[in-house]
Amino acid sequence: MDRNGFPGEVRLRHGSSRTLAAALIAGHMSGAGGLLFLKWDAVWLRLVLLGLGVSLVFGLRREAWRCAPGSVTQLSVHGGGRMLLVRRDGRRTEGVLMPGSFVAPFLVIMRWRRSGGRRIRHVTVAADGTGVREHRLLRVLLRHPL
CB 25 within 8 A of CB 31: no
Residue 133 maps to a domain:
yes
Does a structural domain hold residue 1? no
Same domain, 86 and 137: yes
- Tell me, yes or no, whether 99 lies in a domain: yes
Categorize the per-residue pLDDT at 2 as very low, low, confident or very high, splitting at 50, 70 and 90.
Answer: very low
Which tens digit of pLDDT belongs to each residue from 65-108? 999 999 999 999 998 889 999 999 999 999 999 999 999 999 99
> Domain range for residue 128?
9-16+69-143
Q: Are 98 and 115 in contact (CB under 8 A)?
A: no
Q: Is the pLDDT of residue 14 over 60?
A: yes
pTM of the model: 0.85
pLDDT tens readout for residues 97-123: 999 999 999 999 999 999 989 999 999
| Mean per-residue pLDDT, 7-25 | 91
Same domain, 103 and 43: no
